[in-house]
Amino acid sequence: MTFIKKLLLTTAVAGIFSVTATAENFVPISTGVKSIKMNLNDEEFTLMRNQTKGNKITSLYDTTDRGAPQPMILAPGVETVGELEFIEYMKKAQTDKNIALIDSRKPGWYARLRIPGAVNVPYTNFNEEDSAVEMMEDEMGVVQREDGTLDFSKAKTLVLYCNGYWCGQTPGMVKNSKFALLKMGYPASKIKYYRGGMQAWTSLGFTVVGSGK
């Protein structure tokens, strides 16, 4: 194969666009993968890392004087995921409606900067039983029976994130709020915790949307 052909060689598999190392240097998502086109929750976007040399993390997350770090294992049975696992869930959620990517922060944070395709379900909804049940019915596949009990047989796999390693908003929704998911009976095996949240996501230069980007 000639050098020119090598230079132009690209592959596209399942929406993942990769470019050979001989073609150009780029900041990868994973080995050989520069970008992924997605359509998630009626939002079309291209997921990639910022390609600008010397790009800096947003000032929203460049300080280190935040609260105490959250534990790596949030609760027994709840899986902690990193960026690549989160992205895999993003890809699956495009066609699998049993997966919900949820931003657990307050609406102001969500509007300011968020991961594209994520749905905002503020953790504060889980301070009251009625609003907790409403959120679980509307966004999480839970059904409230006529006798008031909850049916989790069709509960969605939730992939949750908030501001960062120190942020208590996802832990609040999962276990600490008065009517937290686990307290209400949500299956721990269907809860995935992206502990790094927005601080880790932006530190890697991944695509974001919002007024503060």
Domains of the chain: 3-49 (no CATH), 62-201 (3.40.250.10)
Across the range 189-198, mean pLDDT stands at: 98
Total-model pTM: 0.88
Helix (H) or strand (E) segment spanning residue 112: helix 107-112
Tens digit of each residue's pLDDT (9 = 90 or more) over 65-110: 999 999 999 999 999 999 999 999 999 999 999 999 999 999 999 9
Across the range 141-155, mean pLDDT stands at: 98
- For residue 24, the model assigns a pLDDT of 65
**Cα distance between residue 95 and residue 72, in whole Å:** 29
Tens digit of each residue's pLDDT (9 = 90 or more) over 96-145: 999 999 999 999 999 999 999 999 999 999 999 999 999 999 999 999 99
Of the two residues 172 and 18, the one the predictor is more confident about is: 172
pLDDT at 163 over 70: yes
Q: Name the band, by pLDDT with cuts 50, 70 and 90, for residue 212.
A: confident
- For residue 15, the model assigns a pLDDT of 52
Reference 15, options 156, 111, 139, 117; nearest CA is 117
Cα distances (angstroms) measured from residue 199 to each of 114, 179, 188: 11, 27, 24
**Cα distance between residue 185 and residue 80, in whole Å:** 19
pLDDT at 201 over 80: yes
Helix (H) or strand (E) segment spanning residue 4: helix 3-8
Q: Name the band, by pLDDT with cuts 50, 70 and 90, for residue 171.
A: very high
Tens digit of each residue's pLDDT (9 = 90 or more) over 1-34: 443 333 333 333 345 444 434 446 899 999 999 9
